Chains A and B, each alone.
Chain A
Amino acid sequence: MEVLQMLFKVLLFPGFLFLTSYAFAAEYIDRKLHARMQNRKGPKWYIPFADFFKLIGKQTIIHDDAHAGIIKAMPVVSLAGVATAFIYIPVVGSSAVFSFEGDIIIVLYFLSLPVLTQFLAGWYSRSLYATIGASRVITQMFAYEVPLFMCLLAPSLIANTWSVSGITQYYSEHPLYALINLPAFAVALITVQSKLSKAPFDAPEAETEIVSGPYVEYTGRPLAFFRMSADCEEVVLISLVSAIFLPFLSGNAVIDVILYFVKTLAILFVLTLMRTVTARLRVNQTVTLCWRYLVPAALLQMIVNLIVRGWLA
């Protein structure tokens, strides 16, 4: 019974099936909002599914210079990393499927996997555009990863726990303390956008310069899974941010699920707004933004949180 329940949680809800369906829905909402903000009609609701299944049915071309093993393996590794990270993030209420002291580190580690796979995929595609895209991916990663880690770890200083569920639990009991973390929340939103390589941080995939960066040579199934894993990554990241920075829970499971959707969709709205109103930054501008402004802000947040913690103790 125990095992069955666990399997249900990991595979169906709130596990893999929920993640992938919500990921497609999130892509639709993102594209629709983006279109509405540009005064367009936007796609129909089934378009993300259609994109996925169409790519599944298409021919897969791997050209002679490329490394076939890596090209095929990377999308799966990326998707696996993202899906594993998701089971440590609370969806209903404050308890994730699995949790232990320190799982926030695991989540951040698993969320770095898609970026590394993007890099390897681009590098082993052996195409000029893909190589440039890959080097931009890795440069950008060194820019946003540090402020992202810092601003996600800052709230855990007050909560005095290193597990995502623990942090949510603590802040849902003391919702007012969440206000202290507002600057970190802002930093988190910007760095999450950067991690998803969406405008203004879409230099790795800049269509007008390097076609589509690391994905240039991708076709068929591998491309389908890469796109799916990018959608899932978005959902996992917004769930993580909402679990840490928007810890408002009611205690009732149904209302909590509704609250989860309200919170994640609100974050998705902000991310879409950001991508609509901004233009692309160059990689060096991204690095400057992250290291000159976001890292000091996150550092300040950590110091403030340490003081608050000392004061509370």
Chain B
Amino acid sequence: MDLIRKASQWASGKSPWILHFNAGACNGCDIEVVDCVTPRYDLERFGVVKQGSPRHADVLICTGAVTLQTRDRLKQIYEQMPEPKRVIAVGTCACTGGVFDGCYCVTGGIDTVIPVDVYVPGCAVRPDEIISAVERALSLKTDGEGDKK
């Protein structure tokens, strides 16, 4: 049993499955997330697989400021993910609300709805920054050890 626990501890950093959620981005950051799986960046080198179902995902990659339309859905998707899970806010909008902050239909950054582990600022972010953020998110041992704002 101990061996299996050790094996799964070793494995948890080696095979991050990501789920991409657009909470209200202008699509700039989403294109960069998709860039990561293209031959130029090829996230599969690190074992990263893009999954469709939140049930299969380890890392939730969120882009954009949270709009009123997506707020409940974001919360639902986060709750559907099995533990241990990590959240990465990709893009200035996802970190703080960015240019959309204060808009009548926007609640702000991702962390106004769900806890965020790693922030990646930038408008739009670069794919290599997303890759390093995924690596960093997986190296976190416990919740609340991630970036502070």
Q: List residues of chain A with CB under 8 Å of any chain B CB.
A: 31, 35, 38-44, 46-47, 49-54, 56-61, 129, 207-208, 211-212, 215-220, 223
A59 CA to B83 CA, complexed, in Å:
5
Q: Of A43, A49, A54, A211, which one neighbours B45 at CB under 8 angstroms?
A: A43
Known: A42-B44, A59-B82, A59-B83. Contact between A54 and B55, CB under 8 A?
Answer: no
Q: Of A42, A57, A220, which one neighbours B11 at CB under 8 angstroms?
A: A57
Chain B residues within an 8 Å CB radius of A207: 52
Chain B residues within an 8 Å CB radius of A51: 11, 15, 47, 49
Contact in complex: A61, B14 (CB < 8 Å) = no
Contact in complex: A42, B45 (CB < 8 Å) = yes
Known: A44-B47, A47-B14. Contact between A217 and B55, CB under 8 A?
Answer: yes
Assuming A47-B14, A57-B8, A57-B11, what are 18 further A-B pairs, CB within 8 angstroms? A38-B39, A39-B39, A40-B39, A40-B44, A41-B44, A42-B44, A43-B45, A44-B45, A50-B11, A51-B11, A53-B10, A54-B12, A56-B7, A56-B11, A57-B4, A58-B83, A220-B82, A223-B55
0/1 string, B22-66, CB within 8 A of A gives 1: 000000000000000001001011010101110110100000000
Would you list the 10 A-B pairs with minimal beta carbon distance, nearest first? A57-B8, A50-B14, A53-B11, A59-B82, A211-B52, A54-B11, A50-B11, A50-B15, A59-B83, A40-B42
Contact in complex: A54, B14 (CB < 8 Å) = yes
How many residues of B sit at the interface, in one of the four size bands? 20 to 34
B5 in the interface, Cβ–Cβ < 8 Å?
yes
A215 CA to B53 CA, complexed, in Å:
9
Chain A residues within an 8 Å CB radius of B4: 53, 56-57
A58 CA to B5 CA, complexed, in Å:
10
Contact in complex: B47, A50 (CB < 8 Å) = yes
Chain B residues within an 8 Å CB radius of A38: 39
Contact in complex: B42, A41 (CB < 8 Å) = yes
Minimum Cβ distance to chain B for residue A43 (Å)? 5
A270 CA to B15 CA, complexed, in Å:
27
Chain A residues within an 8 Å CB radius of B83: 58-59
Contact in complex: B52, A212 (CB < 8 Å) = yes
Chain A residues within an 8 Å CB radius of B44: 31, 35, 40-43
Known: A49-B11, A50-B14, A54-B14. Contact between A212 and B45, CB under 8 A?
Answer: no
Contact in complex: A216, B53 (CB < 8 Å) = yes
Chain B residues within an 8 Å CB radius of A50: 10-11, 14-15, 47
Point out which of A43, A52, A59, A61 has the most chain B C-beta atoms below 10 A from its C-beta. Answer: A43
Minimum Cβ distance to chain A for residue B143 (Å)? 13
Contact in complex: B45, A56 (CB < 8 Å) = no
Chain A residue at minimum C-beta to C-beta distance from B37 = A40
Minimum Cβ distance to chain A for residue B2 (Å)? 12
Point out which of A39, A47, A129 has the most chain B C-beta atoms below 10 A from its C-beta. Answer: A47
Q: Of A49, A61, A212, which one neighbours B82 at CB under 8 angstroms?
A: A61
Contact in complex: B55, A219 (CB < 8 Å) = yes
Contact in complex: B55, A35 (CB < 8 Å) = no
